[in-house]
Amino acid sequence: MVNWSFSDELVRLDVHFGVSYKADPHQVRPLACAAAGSQERVVQQPAPVCHITGLGDSSVDYILRFWIRDPQKGTTNIRGNVFLALWDALAEAGIEIPYPHRELIVSSPVPVAVTSGKNKSGPI
């Protein structure tokens, strides 16, 4: 048996996400809260909240917190619904969810052997 709520029927859930550094955090936070609040199982009081949690390698990182009253109906499914609502809201606003980019900088030339592309048995 899992006591989800101890003495209170409210259960807080968290969704972690990141957006591009090009996005205005003053726009992202209310969009995220509205996306969570648009889901039927998410309670309006206390209202969803969104905070910046870090400045990552590829994104500004956020946590979106919201509350439900019915964990017996599942928590993964409501998190998934909030993620989809968040995805749609960010896409509609033109806010990019980045993926990691890596840049390789070679500071000094590396010698490379050049061959004709053929050997005794034919083309390589």
Q: How far apart are CA 18 and CA 44, in angstroms?
A: 24
Task: Tell me if 72 sits within 8 A of 82, measured CB to CB.
Answer: no
Q: Residue 122: which pLDDT band, with cuts at 50, 70 and 90?
A: low
Domains of the chain, first to last: 1-124 (3.30.70.100)
Mean pLDDT of 36-50: 97
Give the global pTM: 0.76
- The predicted-structure confidence for 56-72, as pLDDT tens digits, reads as follows 989 999 999 999 999 99
pLDDT (tens digit per residue) in 77-117 = 999 999 999 999 999 999 999 988 778 888 888 788 887 76
